Amino acid sequence: MSFFISSEQIGDVAVLRCAGRVVGPETPSRLKDALNCLSQPRIVVLDLVAVQMIDARGLGMLVFLHNWACANGIQLKLVNPSTLVRKVLSVTGLTSVLHISSVDDAIEMFCNSHGVIEHAEGAAA
């Protein structure tokens, strides 16, 4: 299975859903392309539930994303990593660097962002 990514943005919260194998040289560039399509996110949620495998390049991509997010004042949240991905993150010590959230945390972020949008639209009317 190849690497697939889809994105959705509501307000300033963006979700990038990754699936398949985060391996090979094309994976980081595809993720960077997805990031470039976002419109000034405050929070980027990286959904890893459907990721079946991750290699050193994939780990490097996560570290790159973490550094990019910090440099741009963006919160990066990894959500629901598969068992294998969680194990690899733990063994490499990246769980102490990267913020891993639950699905409930991600839903709360979306709800809070959506509420802010509705409030702003109501105030403008």
> Of the ranges 4-18, 21-35, 98-112, which is most confident?
4-18
Q: What's the pLDDT at 111?
A: 73
Q: What's the pLDDT at 119?
A: 40
Over range 61-71, report the average pLDDT: 92
> Who contacts 68 (Cβ-Cβ below 8 Å, separation ≥6)?
35, 74
Q: Any idea which architecture 3-124 has in CATH?
A: 2-Layer Sandwich (3.30)
Q: Per the confidence metrics, is the pTM higher than 0.75?
A: yes
